[in-house]
Structure 1
Amino acid sequence: MRVTLLGTGDTTGTPTVGCDCDTCEAARERGIERSRFSVHVENDRTGESLLIDFSPDFRKQFLTHDVPLPDAGIVSHIHFDHLDGLGNAYRLFDDLPVYAADETDPVTGESVADTIRSKYDYLDRVTVHDTAPLEPTRICGLDVTLVPVDHPPLVCYGLCVEDPETGAKLSLSGDTSYDVSDESRAALADPDLLLADGIVPARFCEYHPMGGKDEGPDGTPYTFGTKHMTREGALAFAADLDAPETRLVHLAHYYPPEEAFAEPLAVDGETYDL
Protein backbone atom coordinates (compact mmCIF):
# COMPACT_ATOMS: atom_id res chain seq x y z
CA MET A 1 0.00 0.00 0.00
CA ARG A 2 1.54 3.29 -1.10
CA VAL A 3 0.28 6.43 0.61
CA THR A 4 0.85 9.84 -1.02
CA LEU A 5 0.00 13.02 0.84
CA LEU A 6 -1.48 15.20 -1.89
CA GLY A 7 -2.68 17.96 0.43
CA THR A 8 -1.51 18.62 4.00
CA GLY A 9 -2.89 22.10 4.66
CA ASP A 10 -5.95 23.53 6.33
CA THR A 11 -8.78 25.53 4.74
CA THR A 12 -6.53 28.27 3.31
CA GLY A 13 -3.40 26.20 2.70
CA THR A 14 0.22 27.34 2.92
CA PRO A 15 1.21 29.67 1.37
CA THR A 16 -2.13 31.38 1.94
CA VAL A 17 -3.35 33.57 -0.90
CA GLY A 18 -2.47 37.23 -0.27
CA CYS A 19 -0.48 36.47 2.88
CA ASP A 20 3.05 37.77 3.40
CA CYS A 21 3.61 36.31 6.87
CA ASP A 22 7.04 34.85 7.58
CA THR A 23 5.80 31.27 7.26
CA CYS A 24 4.12 31.83 3.90
CA GLU A 25 7.21 33.64 2.63
CA ALA A 26 9.45 30.81 3.86
CA ALA A 27 7.22 28.26 2.10
CA ARG A 28 7.50 30.20 -1.16
CA GLU A 29 11.28 30.48 -0.83
CA ARG A 30 11.63 26.74 -0.18
CA GLY A 31 9.15 25.71 -2.85
CA ILE A 32 7.03 23.98 -0.21
CA GLU A 33 3.28 23.76 -0.40
CA ARG A 34 0.51 22.59 1.86
CA SER A 35 -2.56 22.52 -0.33
CA ARG A 36 -6.01 21.59 0.90
CA PHE A 37 -6.35 18.12 2.37
CA SER A 38 -6.32 14.94 0.28
CA VAL A 39 -4.61 11.56 0.51
CA HIS A 40 -4.01 9.05 -2.29
CA VAL A 41 -3.76 5.34 -1.39
CA GLU A 42 -2.59 2.89 -4.03
CA ASN A 43 -3.05 -0.86 -3.66
CA ASP A 44 0.11 -2.16 -5.27
CA ARG A 45 -1.30 -5.70 -5.30
CA THR A 46 -4.27 -4.82 -7.53
CA GLY A 47 -3.11 -1.62 -9.21
CA GLU A 48 -6.21 0.21 -7.93
CA SER A 49 -6.18 3.46 -5.99
CA LEU A 50 -8.42 5.24 -3.52
CA LEU A 51 -8.68 8.99 -2.96
CA ILE A 52 -9.49 10.16 0.55
CA ASP A 53 -11.28 13.52 0.31
CA PHE A 54 -11.60 15.71 -2.77
CA SER A 55 -9.52 18.83 -2.29
CA PRO A 56 -10.39 22.05 -4.17
CA ASP A 57 -6.76 21.72 -5.34
CA PHE A 58 -7.54 18.38 -7.05
CA ARG A 59 -6.40 19.48 -10.51
CA LYS A 60 -3.03 20.83 -9.42
CA GLN A 61 -2.42 17.91 -7.07
CA PHE A 62 -2.83 15.36 -9.86
CA LEU A 63 -0.76 17.42 -12.30
CA THR A 64 2.01 17.86 -9.73
CA HIS A 65 2.30 14.40 -8.20
CA ASP A 66 3.01 11.15 -10.01
CA VAL A 67 -0.10 9.23 -8.96
CA PRO A 68 -2.87 7.71 -11.07
CA LEU A 69 -6.41 9.01 -11.04
CA PRO A 70 -8.40 7.13 -8.40
CA ASP A 71 -10.63 4.17 -9.04
CA ALA A 72 -12.81 5.23 -6.09
CA GLY A 73 -13.09 7.98 -3.51
CA ILE A 74 -14.27 8.39 0.05
CA VAL A 75 -15.37 11.62 1.75
CA SER A 76 -14.86 12.31 5.46
CA HIS A 77 -17.24 15.28 5.81
CA ILE A 78 -18.89 18.06 3.82
CA HIS A 79 -16.64 21.06 4.52
CA PHE A 80 -15.58 22.56 1.22
CA ASP A 81 -11.85 21.91 1.63
CA HIS A 82 -12.58 18.16 1.76
CA LEU A 83 -15.39 17.91 -0.78
CA ASP A 84 -15.50 20.64 -3.40
CA GLY A 85 -12.78 19.09 -5.54
CA LEU A 86 -15.29 16.43 -6.54
CA GLY A 87 -16.46 18.77 -9.29
CA ASN A 88 -13.15 18.03 -11.01
CA ALA A 89 -14.52 14.58 -11.78
CA TYR A 90 -16.41 16.13 -14.69
CA ARG A 91 -15.25 14.46 -17.93
CA LEU A 92 -12.36 12.67 -16.19
CA PHE A 93 -14.11 9.42 -15.26
CA ASP A 94 -16.38 6.91 -16.94
CA ASP A 95 -17.62 5.84 -13.51
CA LEU A 96 -16.32 6.94 -10.12
CA PRO A 97 -17.70 5.26 -6.99
CA VAL A 98 -17.68 7.66 -4.04
CA TYR A 99 -18.26 6.30 -0.54
CA ALA A 100 -19.64 8.38 2.33
CA ALA A 101 -21.37 7.90 5.66
CA ASP A 102 -25.06 7.07 5.78
CA GLU A 103 -25.76 8.56 9.24
CA THR A 104 -28.16 11.51 9.30
CA ASP A 105 -26.51 14.69 10.55
CA PRO A 106 -28.91 16.45 12.95
CA VAL A 107 -27.59 19.82 11.78
CA THR A 108 -28.17 19.33 8.06
CA GLY A 109 -30.96 16.74 8.22
CA GLU A 110 -29.13 14.51 5.77
CA SER A 111 -26.14 12.21 5.68
CA VAL A 112 -22.78 13.02 4.10
CA ALA A 113 -23.75 10.65 1.29
CA ASP A 114 -27.05 12.49 0.78
CA THR A 115 -25.31 15.87 0.65
CA ILE A 116 -22.86 14.68 -1.99
CA ARG A 117 -25.67 13.13 -4.00
CA SER A 118 -27.71 16.35 -4.03
CA LYS A 119 -24.83 18.82 -4.40
CA TYR A 120 -23.25 16.95 -7.31
CA ASP A 121 -26.37 15.61 -8.98
CA TYR A 122 -25.04 16.86 -12.32
CA LEU A 123 -22.09 14.44 -12.15
CA ASP A 124 -23.87 11.48 -13.70
CA ARG A 125 -20.67 9.44 -13.79
CA VAL A 126 -20.24 9.65 -10.03
CA THR A 127 -22.08 6.97 -8.04
CA VAL A 128 -22.50 7.62 -4.31
CA HIS A 129 -22.40 4.59 -2.02
CA ASP A 130 -23.98 4.93 1.43
CA THR A 131 -21.55 3.48 3.96
CA ALA A 132 -22.14 2.51 7.58
CA PRO A 133 -19.57 3.89 10.03
CA LEU A 134 -17.46 1.42 11.97
CA GLU A 135 -18.19 -1.32 9.43
CA PRO A 136 -15.31 -2.21 7.08
CA THR A 137 -16.08 -1.83 3.38
CA ARG A 138 -13.92 -3.43 0.70
CA ILE A 139 -12.79 -0.66 -1.69
CA CYS A 140 -10.00 -1.14 -4.25
CA GLY A 141 -9.06 -4.39 -2.53
CA LEU A 142 -8.60 -2.63 0.83
CA ASP A 143 -10.77 -2.69 3.94
CA VAL A 144 -11.85 0.88 4.63
CA THR A 145 -13.69 1.96 7.77
CA LEU A 146 -15.28 5.34 8.50
CA VAL A 147 -14.67 6.18 12.15
CA PRO A 148 -16.80 8.83 13.93
CA VAL A 149 -14.75 11.69 15.38
CA ASP A 150 -15.57 15.11 16.90
CA HIS A 151 -15.72 18.13 14.56
CA PRO A 152 -18.71 20.21 15.68
CA PRO A 153 -21.24 21.15 14.57
CA LEU A 154 -21.18 18.63 11.68
CA VAL A 155 -20.68 14.89 11.67
CA CYS A 156 -17.17 13.97 10.61
CA TYR A 157 -15.19 10.77 10.27
CA GLY A 158 -11.66 9.57 10.53
CA LEU A 159 -10.60 6.53 8.57
CA CYS A 160 -8.66 3.35 8.81
CA VAL A 161 -7.47 1.61 5.65
CA GLU A 162 -6.16 -1.93 5.98
CA ASP A 163 -4.69 -4.35 3.48
CA PRO A 164 -6.45 -7.68 4.18
CA GLU A 165 -3.51 -9.67 2.83
CA THR A 166 -0.49 -7.89 4.31
CA GLY A 167 -2.11 -6.43 7.43
CA ALA A 168 -0.71 -2.96 6.69
CA LYS A 169 -2.84 -0.26 8.32
CA LEU A 170 -3.20 3.46 7.70
CA SER A 171 -5.24 5.55 10.16
CA LEU A 172 -6.41 9.13 9.71
CA SER A 173 -7.80 11.14 12.59
CA GLY A 174 -9.93 13.23 10.27
CA ASP A 175 -10.73 16.81 11.25
CA THR A 176 -11.33 16.41 14.97
CA SER A 177 -10.90 17.62 18.48
CA TYR A 178 -9.00 15.40 20.89
CA ASP A 179 -12.34 14.25 22.33
CA VAL A 180 -12.69 11.04 20.31
CA SER A 181 -14.69 8.14 21.75
CA ASP A 182 -13.04 4.98 23.05
CA GLU A 183 -14.82 2.96 20.36
CA SER A 184 -13.36 5.14 17.61
CA ARG A 185 -9.91 5.14 19.19
CA ALA A 186 -10.00 1.33 19.26
CA ALA A 187 -10.81 1.25 15.53
CA LEU A 188 -7.94 3.63 14.72
CA ALA A 189 -5.41 2.02 17.08
CA ASP A 190 -2.16 0.28 16.16
CA PRO A 191 -1.65 1.73 12.68
CA ASP A 192 1.59 1.51 10.77
CA LEU A 193 1.10 5.19 9.89
CA LEU A 194 -1.14 7.80 11.49
CA LEU A 195 -2.13 11.05 9.79
CA ALA A 196 -3.30 13.34 12.60
CA ASP A 197 -4.96 16.75 12.50
CA GLY A 198 -2.59 19.16 14.27
CA ILE A 199 -3.68 22.57 13.07
CA VAL A 200 -1.56 24.85 15.33
CA PRO A 201 0.77 24.74 18.36
CA ALA A 202 -1.13 24.56 21.65
CA ARG A 203 0.03 27.98 22.81
CA PHE A 204 -1.99 29.55 19.98
CA CYS A 205 -5.21 28.65 21.80
CA GLU A 206 -4.88 32.02 23.56
CA TYR A 207 -5.75 33.66 20.23
CA HIS A 208 -8.87 31.58 19.58
CA PRO A 209 -12.15 33.20 20.70
CA MET A 210 -13.06 29.96 22.45
CA GLY A 211 -9.57 29.23 23.74
CA GLY A 212 -8.61 25.60 24.09
CA LYS A 213 -9.92 22.49 25.83
CA ASP A 214 -9.14 18.82 26.55
CA GLU A 215 -6.10 19.74 28.61
CA GLY A 216 -3.30 17.25 29.15
CA PRO A 217 -1.79 16.41 32.55
CA ASP A 218 0.33 19.59 32.50
CA GLY A 219 -2.56 21.83 31.45
CA THR A 220 -1.62 21.94 27.75
CA PRO A 221 -4.74 22.26 25.58
CA TYR A 222 -5.10 19.35 23.20
CA THR A 223 -7.94 20.99 21.25
CA PHE A 224 -7.78 24.37 19.50
CA GLY A 225 -11.22 25.92 19.97
CA THR A 226 -13.62 23.04 19.44
CA LYS A 227 -12.86 21.51 16.03
CA HIS A 228 -9.19 20.61 15.65
CA MET A 229 -6.35 19.14 17.67
CA THR A 230 -3.33 21.19 18.55
CA ARG A 231 0.11 19.86 17.66
CA GLU A 232 0.49 18.64 21.24
CA GLY A 233 -2.96 17.09 21.16
CA ALA A 234 -2.22 15.28 17.91
CA LEU A 235 1.00 13.85 19.35
CA ALA A 236 -0.82 12.75 22.51
CA PHE A 237 -3.48 11.17 20.31
CA ALA A 238 -0.75 9.31 18.40
CA ALA A 239 0.67 8.01 21.68
CA ASP A 240 -2.81 6.90 22.75
CA LEU A 241 -3.13 4.89 19.51
CA ASP A 242 0.38 3.37 19.74
CA ALA A 243 1.27 4.77 16.33
CA PRO A 244 4.93 4.07 15.49
CA GLU A 245 4.96 6.76 12.79
CA THR A 246 2.88 9.93 12.76
CA ARG A 247 2.62 12.81 10.34
CA LEU A 248 0.71 15.93 11.30
CA VAL A 249 -1.63 17.26 8.61
CA HIS A 250 -4.36 19.87 8.13
CA LEU A 251 -1.74 22.44 9.16
CA ALA A 252 -2.33 26.19 9.29
CA HIS A 253 0.15 28.86 8.25
CA TYR A 254 0.10 30.15 11.85
CA TYR A 255 3.01 27.90 12.77
CA PRO A 256 6.05 30.19 13.04
CA PRO A 257 8.67 29.51 10.34
CA GLU A 258 11.14 27.93 12.75
CA GLU A 259 8.50 25.32 13.63
CA ALA A 260 6.43 25.13 10.45
CA PHE A 261 8.68 22.68 8.59
CA ALA A 262 10.03 20.66 11.51
CA GLU A 263 9.23 17.01 12.21
CA PRO A 264 6.65 15.55 12.32
CA LEU A 265 4.76 18.21 10.32
CA ALA A 266 3.98 16.92 6.82
CA VAL A 267 4.24 18.70 3.48
CA ASP A 268 2.62 17.86 0.17
CA GLY A 269 4.15 15.04 -1.85
CA GLU A 270 5.36 12.79 0.95
CA THR A 271 5.00 9.07 0.18
CA TYR A 272 4.93 6.04 2.46
CA ASP A 273 4.99 2.34 1.60
CA LEU A 274 3.18 0.25 4.18
Structure 2
Amino acid sequence: MLRQGDVEPLVLRQRTASGEAGRRALLLHGLGSSESCWDAFVAHRPPDLELWSAGLPWRAGGAFAVAERNDTAWITEAVRRIPGGVDVVIAHSYATVLLLTLLADLAETGRDPREELGVQGVVLVSPFHRQRPEDFTWAELPAFLDLLRLGAEDGIRARSRKPIAPDLRAEMAERSCEQLGPHWVVRHLHAYLHTPFLPVDLVDLPVHVVVGDQDPIAPPAEGTRLAARLGNGSIDRIDGCAHTPMAERPDLFSLAVQQFLTTLPAGHPPAAVN
Protein backbone atom coordinates (compact mmCIF):
# COMPACT_ATOMS: atom_id res chain seq x y z
CA MET A 1 0.00 0.00 0.00
CA LEU A 2 1.28 3.47 -0.91
CA ARG A 3 1.65 6.01 1.86
CA GLN A 4 0.52 9.60 1.44
CA GLY A 5 3.01 11.41 -0.76
CA ASP A 6 4.39 8.20 -2.30
CA VAL A 7 4.66 7.95 -6.07
CA GLU A 8 2.98 5.09 -7.89
CA PRO A 9 5.96 3.04 -9.12
CA LEU A 10 4.33 1.65 -12.26
CA VAL A 11 1.81 3.52 -14.40
CA LEU A 12 0.40 2.11 -17.66
CA ARG A 13 -1.25 4.20 -20.33
CA GLN A 14 -2.92 3.30 -23.60
CA ARG A 15 -1.52 5.64 -26.25
CA THR A 16 -3.61 4.64 -29.28
CA ALA A 17 -6.96 3.08 -30.01
CA SER A 18 -7.20 -0.70 -30.15
CA GLY A 19 -6.33 -2.05 -33.59
CA GLU A 20 -8.86 -4.26 -35.35
CA ALA A 21 -6.39 -6.76 -36.79
CA GLY A 22 -2.98 -5.48 -35.80
CA ARG A 23 -0.54 -5.96 -32.98
CA ARG A 24 -0.08 -4.54 -29.51
CA ALA A 25 3.22 -3.10 -28.28
CA LEU A 26 4.44 -1.95 -24.88
CA LEU A 27 6.94 0.93 -24.73
CA LEU A 28 9.56 1.04 -21.95
CA HIS A 29 11.63 4.18 -21.27
CA GLY A 30 15.16 4.49 -19.94
CA LEU A 31 16.70 5.82 -16.74
CA GLY A 32 15.52 9.29 -15.72
CA SER A 33 13.37 9.50 -18.85
CA SER A 34 9.60 9.26 -19.17
CA GLU A 35 6.78 8.09 -21.40
CA SER A 36 7.13 11.33 -23.38
CA CYS A 37 10.28 10.00 -25.05
CA TRP A 38 7.90 7.95 -27.23
CA ASP A 39 5.59 10.80 -28.26
CA ALA A 40 7.12 11.31 -31.72
CA PHE A 41 7.02 7.58 -32.44
CA VAL A 42 3.39 7.39 -31.33
CA ALA A 43 2.58 10.08 -33.88
CA HIS A 44 4.47 8.17 -36.61
CA ARG A 45 3.54 4.65 -35.52
CA PRO A 46 3.06 1.85 -38.05
CA PRO A 47 -0.56 1.29 -39.09
CA ASP A 48 -2.63 -1.10 -36.97
CA LEU A 49 -0.13 -1.04 -34.11
CA GLU A 50 -1.80 -0.48 -30.76
CA LEU A 51 0.58 1.20 -28.33
CA TRP A 52 0.81 1.22 -24.55
CA SER A 53 3.51 2.94 -22.54
CA ALA A 54 4.77 2.22 -19.06
CA GLY A 55 5.84 4.86 -16.57
CA LEU A 56 8.45 2.86 -14.67
CA PRO A 57 9.85 3.47 -11.16
CA TRP A 58 13.10 4.95 -12.57
CA ARG A 59 11.27 7.62 -14.58
CA ALA A 60 11.77 11.34 -14.15
CA GLY A 61 9.60 12.28 -11.19
CA GLY A 62 9.28 8.64 -10.16
CA ALA A 63 10.18 6.96 -6.91
CA PHE A 64 13.46 8.24 -5.44
CA ALA A 65 14.22 4.69 -4.34
CA VAL A 66 12.40 1.40 -3.96
CA ALA A 67 12.94 -1.61 -1.73
CA GLU A 68 15.49 -4.08 -3.06
CA ARG A 69 13.88 -5.99 -5.89
CA ASN A 70 14.88 -7.49 -9.20
CA ASP A 71 14.07 -4.62 -11.56
CA THR A 72 13.14 -7.05 -14.34
CA ALA A 73 10.05 -7.83 -12.27
CA TRP A 74 8.67 -4.39 -13.14
CA ILE A 75 8.78 -5.33 -16.83
CA THR A 76 7.07 -8.66 -16.20
CA GLU A 77 4.37 -6.90 -14.20
CA ALA A 78 3.86 -4.26 -16.89
CA VAL A 79 3.51 -6.87 -19.63
CA ARG A 80 1.02 -8.93 -17.64
CA ARG A 81 -1.12 -5.92 -16.75
CA ILE A 82 -1.82 -4.94 -20.36
CA PRO A 83 -5.40 -6.01 -21.23
CA GLY A 84 -5.33 -8.73 -23.87
CA GLY A 85 -1.57 -9.24 -23.69
CA VAL A 86 1.38 -7.78 -25.59
CA ASP A 87 2.89 -8.96 -28.89
CA VAL A 88 6.00 -6.80 -28.90
CA VAL A 89 7.98 -4.99 -26.20
CA ILE A 90 9.99 -1.97 -27.33
CA ALA A 91 12.60 -0.89 -24.78
CA HIS A 92 15.04 2.01 -24.70
CA SER A 93 18.40 2.45 -22.96
CA TYR A 94 18.36 1.15 -19.35
CA ALA A 95 15.16 -0.78 -20.03
CA THR A 96 16.98 -2.75 -22.77
CA VAL A 97 19.40 -4.12 -20.18
CA LEU A 98 16.56 -5.25 -17.94
CA LEU A 99 14.52 -6.72 -20.78
CA LEU A 100 17.52 -8.60 -22.14
CA THR A 101 18.30 -9.87 -18.63
CA LEU A 102 14.73 -11.13 -18.31
CA LEU A 103 14.88 -12.92 -21.67
CA ALA A 104 18.28 -14.46 -20.92
CA ASP A 105 17.12 -15.67 -17.50
CA LEU A 106 14.06 -17.30 -19.04
CA ALA A 107 16.15 -18.96 -21.74
CA GLU A 108 18.72 -20.23 -19.26
CA THR A 109 16.02 -21.94 -17.21
CA GLY A 110 14.36 -23.47 -20.25
CA ARG A 111 11.33 -21.19 -20.29
CA ASP A 112 9.91 -19.66 -23.46
CA PRO A 113 9.01 -15.94 -23.28
CA ARG A 114 6.27 -16.62 -25.81
CA GLU A 115 4.58 -18.79 -23.20
CA GLU A 116 5.69 -16.93 -20.06
CA LEU A 117 4.93 -13.41 -21.31
CA GLY A 118 2.92 -13.94 -24.48
CA VAL A 119 5.33 -11.82 -26.55
CA GLN A 120 6.34 -12.62 -30.13
CA GLY A 121 9.39 -10.35 -30.34
CA VAL A 122 11.21 -7.39 -28.82
CA VAL A 123 12.95 -4.25 -30.04
CA LEU A 124 15.99 -2.96 -28.15
CA VAL A 125 16.70 0.72 -28.82
CA SER A 126 20.18 2.04 -27.99
CA PRO A 127 21.10 -0.97 -25.85
CA PHE A 128 23.97 -1.25 -23.39
CA HIS A 129 25.85 -4.53 -23.66
CA ARG A 130 29.46 -5.65 -23.30
CA GLN A 131 30.87 -9.06 -24.09
CA ARG A 132 33.56 -9.47 -21.42
CA PRO A 133 33.91 -8.33 -17.80
CA GLU A 134 37.33 -6.94 -18.77
CA ASP A 135 35.61 -4.53 -21.17
CA PHE A 136 34.80 -2.39 -18.13
CA THR A 137 37.66 -0.40 -16.63
CA TRP A 138 38.25 1.52 -13.42
CA ALA A 139 39.18 4.63 -15.36
CA GLU A 140 35.77 4.93 -16.99
CA LEU A 141 33.78 4.97 -13.74
CA PRO A 142 33.86 8.79 -13.36
CA ALA A 143 32.93 9.12 -17.02
CA PHE A 144 29.85 6.98 -16.39
CA LEU A 145 28.30 9.81 -14.36
CA ASP A 146 29.14 12.25 -17.13
CA LEU A 147 27.34 9.98 -19.59
CA LEU A 148 24.25 10.06 -17.40
CA ARG A 149 24.28 13.85 -17.50
CA LEU A 150 24.77 13.70 -21.25
CA GLY A 151 21.88 11.29 -21.51
CA ALA A 152 19.66 13.68 -19.57
CA GLU A 153 20.67 16.49 -21.92
CA ASP A 154 20.02 14.32 -24.95
CA GLY A 155 16.55 13.49 -23.70
CA ILE A 156 15.76 17.15 -23.01
CA ARG A 157 16.96 18.11 -26.48
CA ALA A 158 14.94 15.37 -28.17
CA ARG A 159 11.72 16.22 -26.32
CA SER A 160 11.98 19.99 -26.65
CA ARG A 161 9.77 21.59 -29.28
CA LYS A 162 12.15 24.52 -29.67
CA PRO A 163 15.91 25.00 -29.19
CA ILE A 164 17.18 25.43 -25.63
CA ALA A 165 20.38 27.34 -24.87
CA PRO A 166 23.23 24.92 -24.05
CA ASP A 167 23.85 26.38 -20.59
CA LEU A 168 20.17 26.14 -19.67
CA ARG A 169 19.96 22.63 -21.06
CA ALA A 170 22.99 21.60 -18.98
CA GLU A 171 21.41 23.13 -15.87
CA MET A 172 18.16 21.26 -16.54
CA ALA A 173 20.09 18.01 -17.02
CA GLU A 174 21.96 18.48 -13.75
CA ARG A 175 18.69 19.10 -11.95
CA SER A 176 17.24 15.97 -13.53
CA CYS A 177 20.17 13.91 -12.23
CA GLU A 178 19.78 15.38 -8.75
CA GLN A 179 16.12 14.38 -8.70
CA LEU A 180 16.97 10.90 -9.94
CA GLY A 181 19.39 10.37 -7.06
CA PRO A 182 22.07 7.73 -6.52
CA HIS A 183 19.93 4.64 -6.03
CA TRP A 184 18.81 4.16 -9.63
CA VAL A 185 22.24 5.14 -10.95
CA VAL A 186 23.91 2.35 -8.98
CA ARG A 187 21.25 -0.14 -10.07
CA HIS A 188 21.80 0.86 -13.70
CA LEU A 189 25.54 0.41 -13.37
CA HIS A 190 25.12 -2.96 -11.65
CA ALA A 191 22.82 -4.22 -14.42
CA TYR A 192 25.23 -2.96 -17.11
CA LEU A 193 28.21 -4.63 -15.41
CA HIS A 194 26.31 -7.91 -15.42
CA THR A 195 25.68 -7.94 -19.20
CA PRO A 196 28.81 -9.99 -20.08
CA PHE A 197 27.41 -12.85 -18.00
CA LEU A 198 24.06 -13.02 -19.82
CA PRO A 199 23.67 -16.10 -22.07
CA VAL A 200 22.21 -14.03 -24.89
CA ASP A 201 23.03 -16.72 -27.45
CA LEU A 202 20.28 -18.83 -25.86
CA VAL A 203 17.62 -16.18 -26.56
CA ASP A 204 15.82 -17.47 -29.66
CA LEU A 205 12.96 -14.97 -29.51
CA PRO A 206 13.20 -12.51 -32.43
CA VAL A 207 15.11 -9.48 -31.14
CA HIS A 208 15.60 -6.40 -33.31
CA VAL A 209 18.26 -3.91 -32.26
CA VAL A 210 18.02 -0.25 -33.32
CA VAL A 211 20.98 2.09 -32.83
CA GLY A 212 21.81 5.65 -33.79
CA ASP A 213 25.15 5.84 -35.56
CA GLN A 214 26.13 8.94 -33.55
CA ASP A 215 25.11 7.74 -30.09
CA PRO A 216 27.66 9.05 -27.56
CA ILE A 217 26.02 7.25 -24.62
CA ALA A 218 25.38 3.66 -25.69
CA PRO A 219 28.12 2.94 -28.27
CA PRO A 220 26.54 1.68 -31.52
CA ALA A 221 29.23 -1.01 -31.70
CA GLU A 222 27.79 -2.57 -28.55
CA GLY A 223 24.41 -2.92 -30.24
CA THR A 224 26.02 -4.39 -33.34
CA ARG A 225 27.92 -7.01 -31.35
CA LEU A 226 24.83 -7.82 -29.32
CA ALA A 227 22.72 -8.41 -32.44
CA ALA A 228 25.40 -10.79 -33.74
CA ARG A 229 25.49 -12.77 -30.47
CA LEU A 230 21.73 -13.17 -30.07
CA GLY A 231 20.17 -16.45 -31.09
CA ASN A 232 17.70 -14.66 -33.38
CA GLY A 233 18.92 -11.08 -33.68
CA SER A 234 18.77 -8.38 -36.35
CA ILE A 235 19.77 -4.72 -36.43
CA ASP A 236 19.01 -1.33 -37.97
CA ARG A 237 21.43 1.61 -37.79
CA ILE A 238 19.77 5.00 -38.22
CA ASP A 239 22.14 7.58 -39.62
CA GLY A 240 22.43 10.98 -38.01
CA CYS A 241 20.86 9.88 -34.72
CA ALA A 242 22.22 9.92 -31.19
CA HIS A 243 20.71 8.09 -28.19
CA THR A 244 16.99 8.58 -28.95
CA PRO A 245 16.34 7.59 -32.59
CA MET A 246 12.63 7.14 -31.90
CA ALA A 247 12.45 10.87 -31.06
CA GLU A 248 15.08 12.17 -33.49
CA ARG A 249 13.95 10.28 -36.60
CA PRO A 250 10.56 8.81 -35.74
CA ASP A 251 9.80 8.19 -39.41
CA LEU A 252 12.81 5.93 -39.92
CA PHE A 253 12.38 4.33 -36.51
CA SER A 254 8.75 3.54 -37.30
CA LEU A 255 9.79 1.99 -40.60
CA ALA A 256 12.33 -0.22 -38.82
CA VAL A 257 9.66 -1.38 -36.37
CA GLN A 258 7.13 -1.96 -39.14
CA GLN A 259 9.55 -4.10 -41.12
CA PHE A 260 10.37 -6.13 -38.01
CA LEU A 261 6.67 -6.70 -37.33
CA THR A 262 6.24 -8.30 -40.76
CA THR A 263 8.58 -11.10 -39.66
CA LEU A 264 6.46 -12.02 -36.62
CA PRO A 265 3.38 -14.25 -36.27
CA ALA A 266 -0.09 -12.74 -36.07
CA GLY A 267 -0.87 -10.62 -33.02
CA HIS A 268 -3.33 -10.82 -30.15
CA PRO A 269 -7.00 -10.08 -30.81
CA PRO A 270 -8.13 -6.55 -29.89
CA ALA A 271 -8.74 -6.05 -26.17
CA ALA A 272 -11.86 -4.49 -24.76
CA VAL A 273 -10.73 -1.67 -22.48
CA ASN A 274 -13.28 0.13 -20.32
Same fold (TM over 0.5): no
Q: Which has the higher contact order (CA 8 A, sep 6+)?
A: 2
Structure number with higher strand proportion: 1
* TM-score normalized by the length of structure 1: 0.31
